[in-house]
Structure 1
């Protein structure tokens, strides 16, 4: 029960330091908040699909690297783990 509202995948490693010594397993829900800093991409104009895909690829590669580092830190705990990403965005602009 170490969840922190607004935390991103990079925050999980710090949270792992607070795991109880008698923990039997880990359930980690992370990743949804990582995308929020890039929400402005949905509002940007683009000249082509290729331009949009290039921008999304950069976001994906950054997220994949950070998420991979998080998973590695979790696996070092040597406990059974369930990884979840739960995110139900409620944005004021219905186009988002």
Structure 2
């Protein structure tokens, strides 16, 4: 199973492709350099396969590489960051 996570600024979301099929996305609102994550969805065909976690991990890695910050309003993103404290420094309460 190959995965690719790409930012789709036109739709304001990061998308994960699994074997070239859209498997899910993490929607955001851009406020300067801060991405406010509002919703994460994974296609039912790809649930319970680690796709959501791969999406959030690779998304946060890309945000970190850009020097950005995040506000995890989405419960899935917030829970992921709670379980992976190495991403806590990306969190800001200033959208």
The TM-score normalised by the length of structure 1 is 0.38
Larger of the two Rg values belongs to structure: 1
Higher strand share: 2
Higher helix share: 1
The TM-score normalised by the length of structure 2 is 0.38
